[in-house]
Structure 1
Amino acid sequence: MTKLSIVIPCYFNEQNIPATTKELISSESLFDEEVEFEYIFVDDGSGDNTLQELLKFKKLYPSKVKVLKLAGNVGSYNAVVAGMEVASGDCTVIIAADLQDPPELMVQMYNYWKQGFKLVIGNRMDREESPVQKFFSNTFHSIMKKIALKNIPDGGFDYVFFDRQIREEVVKMKERNSNIFYLMTWMGYAYINIPYVRKKREIGKSRWTLQKKIKLLIDSLLSFSFFPIRAISVIGIGLGLGAFIYGLYIMISRFMGFIDVEGWSALMVVVLFVSSFQMIAIGILGEYVWRGLDASRERPLFVVEKVY
């Protein structure tokens, strides 16, 4: 028997759970009879009746459903790690609780895993969302592909199927303020990606706010790229070279009597520009320093209040 662990992070998903669990159970018939299923739902500090809906599902299938209740909201990525930590399958898949990702795609992922691929990625070739959401998502993944991880597929992804070995490595790393899906590709395992169209959310309201998206962009960029630090160095060298050349020009012009050195306006523009750059540079360095401090504290990524 092959055991498949299905990890589903949940946050304010009480309306989604009945439909999602029904689809998951239905998709079991698409697999070989040799596959044993383990469902791990992680309630990421939801403030609604998500936990109650999950416990209803567990009563129907007590032997193959685990429900983790976290003490507080720690973010979907940390919630996924919590689910991975208690998973016991030979392979694992992470799927959202809102049915935007097709459960039936897991069968194709499983078949690739049986062929020897330790990582199978469902990447979004398109999405049934607003132009603004598409623009943000496409821009985010384009930035990451160009300056951080050149081996990631186009379109972005958070629907992944992977081997026990990858799961154990991710859990062992305990990465903070990072992106666990990018972390899997960073490991270097050969993977195959399956393009699909991400569906529009039909039930409930997304809690994936603009603030969370911006934080994810910053976390992903700083975790997998030295570009921000390198950019500071390059811009600093450029500004220094420009200042040196301009200083020589001013001194030569002054001694030769070409100009009267006044230039209060020009001086203020230069001072304000350089000061702004210094503050931005300090902010970027501060982000790196804070992440180092956060890691040195060794606080847990999550606190499990109860396991059902």
Structure 2
Amino acid sequence: MPKLSVIVPCYYNEENIPVTTRELVANEANFPPEVTFEYVFVNDGSGDNTLGALRQAQAQYPGRIRIVDLAGNVGSYNAIVAGMAHATGDCLSVITADLQDPPELMAQMYSHWQRGFKLVIGNRQDREETGLSQTLAKVFHWLMKNLALRNIPDGGFDFVFFDRQVATEVLKLQERNSNVFYLMVWLGFAYVNIPYTRRKRKIGKSRWTLSKKIKLLIDSLMAFSFVPIRAISVLGLGLGIIALIYGVYVIALKIISPNEPAGWTTLMVVMLFVSAFQMTALGVIGEYVWRGLDASRQRPLYVVREVLNPDEIPRKGPSYADHA
């Protein structure tokens, strides 16, 4: 009997939990009767009563819900890794707690998994969201596809269905400051891409701020692409050629017109331009150095305060290091 573990990272989702659990449990009717389910809700250091709402849901649906309560907020991707480490299913899925991604798509994903695909991606072909949020999302995924991972689908994704082997390999990597979904694609398993339209959030307010989006873009590019560091080399070479040409021009001008006054404006423009490039280069190099330092510390990605298993009393949970 195959077991499906549905991982749900939660951050300030107190109002969403009752609706989310009800829809997830109702979605079981779309699966063959032999499939069993567990729902791994990861409370990512929420400051509201998300944990209390999860405890109520666990009591309402006995035998189904496992709660992983993290000691602090570590970000949704690290929370997903925590859920993967505590999930026990033969296949797993990740879905958002606000139900912007349709749970009913999981049944179709499951059918592809049965046919041997290790990874099934729910690909956002369109969004009900508009404005700046939609524009930023399109720019982010265009950059990732063209500068980092060319085999990712257009439009981006964070709704996936994958095999236990994929989860095991991701946990082995112990990646820091990365993108767990892109890691799944990077592993190289053939995947199926299922398009869908992402819905608007109806309950609560998104905590996915602009600063978090910018950090995700930087982390993803640094983790999967050498383009930033290569761009510095190319730009530096280009500036060197320009400087050489300009140097020849200055020498020639000095020979032709020895009394010609020096170009103060030109000199300052060149100095400011080169200084700006140097500072940018140092910033990019510093990002790579910091990531190497962060990895060398070997601090855990998350620390679990407690794990509330179905029909069990709470127990103190292990950190990520215990699963690595």
TM tier, shorter chain?
Answer: over 0.9
**Aligned twin of 1:227:** 227
Structure 2: runs of 5+ lacking an equivalent: 309-324
**Aligned twin of 2:47:** 47
**Aligned twin of 1:299:** 299
**Aligned twin of 1:207:** 207
1:60 is displaced (CA, Å) by: 2.3
**Aligned twin of 2:315:** none
Cα separation, 1, equivalents of 2:213 and 2:182: 15
Cα separation, 2, equivalents of 1:284 and 1:23: 44
Amino acid at match of 1:251: I
**Aligned twin of 1:163:** 163
Cα separation, 2, equivalents of 1:64 and 1:203: 24
- The total of aligned residue pairs comes to 308
Deviation per CA, 1:86-136, whole angstroms, max 9, x where unpaired?
Answer: 111110000000010000000000000001110000010011112211100
Percent of residue pairs bearing the same amino acid type = 63
Deviation per CA, 1:245-281, whole angstroms, max 9, x where unpaired?
Answer: 1101110121122771410111000000100010000
Amino acid at match of 1:198: R
User: Are the structure 2 counterparts of residues 259 and 33 from structure 1 closer, same or farther at C-alpha, using a change threshold of 3 Å?
Assistant: farther
Amino acid at match of 1:237: L
Cα separation, 1, equivalents of 2:151 and 2:218: 19
User: Are the structure 2 counterparts of residues 234 and 298 from structure 1 closer, same or farther at C-alpha, using a change threshold of 3 Å?
Assistant: same
Determine whether 1:63 maps to 2:51. Answer: no
**Aligned twin of 1:93:** 93
3-state DSSP class of the match of 1:150? Answer: coil
Cα separation, 1, equivalents of 2:107 and 2:131: 31
Cα separation, 1, equivalents of 2:18 and 2:272: 57
Q: Is the 8 A contact 1:253 1:259 kept in 2?
A: no
Cα separation, 1, equivalents of 2:46 and 2:199: 23
Cα separation, 2, equivalents of 1:261 and 1:5: 76
Cα separation, 1, equivalents of 2:249 and 2:185: 51
1:173 is displaced (CA, Å) by: 1.0
1:211 is displaced (CA, Å) by: 0.3
Cα separation, 1, equivalents of 2:112 and 2:259: 73
Cα separation, 1, equivalents of 2:252 and 2:133: 54
3-state DSSP class of the match of 1:112? Answer: helix
Determine whether 1:244 maps to 2:244. Answer: yes
Amino acid at match of 2:297: R
> For residues 1-308 of structure 1, what are the structure 2 equivalents within 5 Å?
1-257=1-257, 260-308=260-308
**Aligned twin of 2:311:** none
Amino acid at match of 2:254: R
3-state DSSP class of the match of 2:158? Answer: strand
Cα separation, 2, equivalents of 1:119 and 1:258: 71
1:62 is displaced (CA, Å) by: 3.1
3-state DSSP class of the match of 2:98? Answer: coil
**Aligned twin of 2:318:** none
3-state DSSP class of the match of 1:218? Answer: helix
Q: Is the 8 A contact 1:254 1:261 kept in 2?
A: no
Q: For the aligned residues, what is the CA RMSD?
A: 0.9
3-state DSSP class of the match of 1:157? Answer: coil
Structure 1: runs of 5+ lacking an equivalent: none
Cα separation, 1, equivalents of 2:12 and 2:130: 22
Q: TM-score, normalised by structure 2?
A: 0.94
Deviation per CA, 1:263-300, whole angstroms, max 9, x where unpaired?
Answer: 01110000001000100000000000000000000000
Q: TM-score, normalised by structure 1?
A: 0.99
Q: Is the 8 A contact 1:39 1:66 kept in 2?
A: yes
1:61 is displaced (CA, Å) by: 2.7
